[in-house]
Amino acid sequence: MNLLEDEAVPVEKEQKSARDGALFDGDTGTLPLDARRALCQLLSGPSIDQGRHSQLWPAVLRYEAQLRAHLNDLFLELVLDRDAGVAFTRQADTGELETPVLLRSSPLTFIDSVLLLHLRQQLAEADAQGHRAVVEESVLVDALSVYEKNLSTDRAGFNKRVTGAITKMKDNHVLEKLRGSEDRYEVSPTLKLLFSAEDVQNLAQIYRQLREADEATEEVADER
């Protein structure tokens, strides 16, 4: 009888220890609370920003290895830039291995791509000057007006498409509204990780050629 009781003690202690680490009944997770919150934000997206997520950012740094492991289990990878203060997830490159795709994606229209390029350039210029990249909605519309003829639409239709692209950037937190302002936004530093300097250069060349081709066609039409 005493032997059985002695053997039961370690089991009780082990069960109590497991319950002490649980966050809810039946919890078998291994991450602490702040790490789980960070993981949820990474999965729901689009990113964790040091400025906007001041409580989650330290957890990303502290539990980076564990977060990477949990994301890898889902065929995802963690992209982390400590200097920029940004972290997000993307599909892992699994080669020919067939894997499920968990992250949602939406196709970019021509004007979406042009807007992203413009915002990336604004971010690069602001970084070079040591400033935050702040843009105004009306200025964005004017900046993109050079592409109006590429869309073969009237002014009202073009403005509607640009407004829709800006709304998409806001919904995906590429643009964050500044407090106390109705039409001024900060460009998310996430764009630095999504578009490298080489990507920006290549895209800029493509869109420059589009503009030049359109201008050349217009000159020919005027001569006639």
Look at 11-25, 154-168, 169-183 and tell me which has the smallest mean pLDDT. Answer: 11-25
Distances (CA, A) of 128 to 97, 118, 187, 201: 41, 16, 14, 16
pTM over 0.85: no
Model confidence at 214, pLDDT cuts 50, 70, 90, reads low
Domains and CATH numbers, the chain: 32-104 (1.10.10), 110-219 (1.10.10)
Question: Which residue would you say has higher pLDDT here, 133 or 105?
Answer: 133
Confidence of residue 9 (pLDDT cuts 50, 70, 90): very low
Do residues 115 and 162 touch, judged by C-beta distance below 8 A?
Answer: yes
Token pair 């791509």 in the structure block, residue: 113
The predicted structure's pLDDT at residue 13: 44
* CA distance linking residue 139 with residue 37, whole number of Å: 37
* Residue 56 near residue 31, CB atoms below 8 Å: no
How many Å apart are CA 187 and CA 184, to the nearest integer?
10
pLDDT at residue 213, as a whole number: 56
Q: Which two tokens stand for residue 221?
A: 């039409």
pLDDT over 90 percentage in the chain = 27
Question: Of 2-11, 57-66, 108-117, 150-159, where does the model show the most confidence?
Answer: 57-66
| Residue 217 pLDDT > 70 | no
Q: How confident is the model at residue 1 (pLDDT cuts 50, 70, 90)?
A: very low
The secondary structure element, H or E, covering residue 210 is helix 197-223
